[in-house]
Structure 1
Amino acid sequence: MTKVNREIVVSEALDLLDEVGLDAVSTRRLAQRLGVEQPSLYWYFRTKKDLLAAMAQAAMAPHSAAPLPTPDDDWREWFLDNTRSFRRTLLMRRDGARLHAGSTPVGDLDRIRRKMDFLVTSGVPERDAQTAMLAAGRFTVGSVLEEQADAGSGDGSDPPADVPMIDHESAFEAGLALILDGLLHHTALRAAGDR
């Protein structure tokens, strides 16, 4: 039997997620995987919702470890790179977007503040920066939800001939460019209005 602690429970839960998908993750299955009795998991997580929140936070570790912007960074390039990093991280886990959707970034608040401060210091009005970051985040989660749903359909059927195949990465990049263009437009309008 493996010695169990909170980190091992979360790590094994994420591995279970990758194997069976979010709908099949259960505390019963996780306990079997760990070789422990199901009630012992409540020592680490009072509810399945608590476990899922810890899994979501751990799954975001690659994005959370990405370097923060520096004053020398171009905010437009940083905005694109930051959103792409978020997408890559969601795609690292089976059902990563579903796991993340609705989670609260409790451990990431300082990083979020620093990112927002960078955008505002770079000349983006605070309200626009907040709205753009929220829109980019939700757009990314939605894009990855669709991409992972397509990948998981696996029913072997081909779409009708008149339905175009979706290149998820190209569609994501096009949408991200539109969000950035809108942010640039708003920033320019506000700057012109301040004159």
Structure 2
Amino acid sequence: MDREAIVGAALSLLNETGLDGLTVRRLAEHLNVKNPALYWHFSSKRALLDEMAQILQSRQDFGPPRDGESWQQWLTRRARERRQVLLSCRDAARLVAGTRAGPALIEKFEAELNALVAAGFTPAQALHAIGTITRYVNGFVLDEQAMAEHTADAPQPPATADVFAATPTLAAAIQEAGDSDAAFEEGVRVLVAGIAARRGAKA
């Protein structure tokens, strides 16, 4: 049993138990070993969670824009890919929140920053641009996954026609806004446009 096998098992167990149910004892039972065997590889549960977050995020296609891809197109693709990675694992948005990137992710992030600097961003502008998009995606998925958990635990009856009759603007907004995918795409468009406008204003 090595670190990679432990992290893989932990991510599998996370899908079953959720983040709140994931404990070192439970993981040890899942692997059919004693708790000390896991602490030989990870000094604490926090260290295990950090590596789980790094492995999960490494599934995203990090790196600079592809040939012929504008920075706007790249940031949009990056946002979509990150959302899909986070949605692929239960409580993934909570898992990655506040964790530190490992050397491999930092190296790829450096390449991304350099690509934006080459496109005319200052280093700080590049950092803020990627950070803003990343935090938006994390927060959006956090809400999606929390809502899914809430609905599974306590299904709510659909809103009645009487409720919408009293709130016609809300009813029209919901109908026009579309589903969660549409809401996500609109948010990304607004952010990317805002980043472009702010760059223009500072220039």
- Under a length normalisation based on structure 1, what TM-score does the superposition of the two structures give? 0.89
Give the secondary-structure state (helix, strand or coil) at the position aligned to 2:98. Answer: coil
Change in CA separation of 1:89 and 1:139 when aligned onto 2, cut-off 3 Å: same
1:5-24 to structure 2, matched below 5 A, reads 5-24=2-21
Cα deviation, 1:155-188, whole Å, max 9, x if unaligned, reads: 1222544476672221111111111011110122
Percent of residue pairs identical: 34
Q: 1:118 aligns with which of 110, 115, 119?
A: 115
Cα deviation, 1:119-174, whole Å, max 9, x if unaligned, reads: 11112333222112111111110000000011111112225444766722211111
Question: Residue 62 of structure 2 contacts residue 108 of structure 2 at CA under 8 Å; is this kept in 1?
Answer: no
Equivalent residue, structure 1, for 2:54: 57
Equivalent residue, structure 2, for 1:127: 124
Cα deviation, 1:99-122, whole Å, max 9, x if unaligned, reads: 010011123111111111111111
Equivalent residue, structure 2, for 1:73: 69
Please identify, of 117-126 and 47-56, the stretch whose mean Cα deviation from structure 2 is larger. 117-126
Counterparts of 1:127 and 1:32, CA distance in 2: 46
Residue ranges of structure 1 left out of the alignment (5+ in a row): none
Aligned length: 187
Equivalent position amino acid for 1:57 in 2: Q
Equivalent residue, structure 2, for 1:102: 98
Question: Residue 94 of structure 2 contacts residue 142 of structure 2 at CA under 8 Å; is this kept in 1?
Answer: yes
Give the secondary-structure state (helix, strand or coil) at the position aligned to 2:33. Answer: coil
Equivalent residue, structure 2, for 1:146: 143
Equivalent position amino acid for 1:120 in 2: V
Residue ranges of structure 2 left out of the alignment (5+ in a row): 164-169
Give the aligned CA root-mean-square deviation in angstroms.
1.8
User: Does the alignment pair 1:157 with 2:156?
Assistant: yes
Question: Residue 125 of structure 1 contacts residue 187 of structure 1 at CA under 8 Å; is this kept in 2?
Answer: no
Change in CA separation of 1:126 and 1:71 when aligned onto 2, cut-off 3 Å: farther
Q: Post-superposition shift, 1:32?
A: 0.6
- Under a length normalisation based on structure 2, what TM-score does the superposition of the two structures give? 0.85
